[in-house]
Amino acid sequence: MFVAGGSGSASIVEDLAKEVGGVVADVETRRFPDGEAYVRVREAVEGEPVAAVETPVPDAGLVELLLLEDALARRGADPLHVGLPYLPYARQDKVFEPGEALSAAVVAEVLGRRADGVVAVDPHEEAVLDRFPCPATAASAVPEIAAAVDDGAVDVVLAPDEGARPRARDAADLLEARHDHLVKERVGADDVRMEPRDLDVDGLGVLVLDDIVSTGGTMSQAVATLREQGAARVVAACTHGLFVDDALARLEEAGCDRVLATDSLPNPVDDVPVAPALARGLSALDG
């Protein structure tokens, strides 16, 4: 198998090639003076299975991945699978207000148009997979996140909301910890508390696990409340660390002892590799 990457995914591509025993394809990517992307696959891949991998971070990476898929399809890659370390636009998965674009559907449609199969690591909601015009599967980075925090000091894994509870449960099973989800309680016009539904965290080591940390608002509210409730240690982890603006500082101020994320997006705490999840997803597509 060849693994072909765009300009933002070199280390993931190398990791993935090792995971699947594949070869990194020779791909040229550059920008024209006006900023437009140029992609050329310099490898003969006709009739060969190829995984195209790029984090389509809005929006330059998205265009680059679309060009990479087109170039690979024209080169005869067969099958052509697309590995998405991060699936952007997935949170706009409904028309919340009349007149809005259904962004998740648009992005899935174009990303899947040339592909024989797609793997998305921890998509915001798995329902988005139905939007792809080809087989699409989710792959979880929870095993690698759990391994990275497994120091024997995690007593409880908490999901920020009920929808994220299965991910917390999977991590808790691996860490031999308990799990719960947080419920939001408004305690003033501008103040929201996020408390565990059932568990008392007083004196415990807590891992809060979310799919995305963007502004850090959700996670910092959770961490601050858990600290108030006497948690002895709070680790914040996510698959996709967007960490917009001062998000990491907000988490630290809220009382996080440690923050970690996968390398699905470049960030200062991207120590957890996403390639093993992509490899499992590719294998599921083949199966």
Binding site for ligand R5P (CB under 6 A): 160, 210-219
Tokens of 126: 């798995």
Enter the DSSP assignment of 265.
Answer: S
Which of the following is catalytic: 184, 193, 258, 280?
A: 184
Radius of gyration over every alpha carbon of the chain, rounded to an integer in angstroms: 20
Phi, psi of 4 (to 5 degrees): -115, 130
Contact between 123 and 89 under an 8 Å Cβ cutoff? The reply is: no
Q: 217 or 230: whose CB is closer to ligand R5P? A: 217
Q: How far is CA 239 from the centre of its chain?
A: 5
| Annotated catalytic residue 18 | no
27 forms beta bridges with 41
CA dihedral 8, 9, 10, 16 (to 10 degrees): 180
Short-list 151, 238, 158, 163, CA closest to 194: 158
CA distance 106 to 202: 45
172 CB-near residues (< 8 Å, 6+ apart): 156, 157, 178, 179
- Rounded to a whole number of angstroms, the minimum distance from the CB of residue 267 to ligand R5P is 13
Instruction: Tell me the closest approach of the beta carbon of residue 229 to ligand R5P, in angstroms.
Output: 20
CB of 261 to ligand R5P, least distance (A): 12
For residue 190, the minimal CB distance to ligand R5P (Å) is: 15
By C-beta, is 49 or 56 nearer to ligand R5P?
56
Catalytic residues: 184
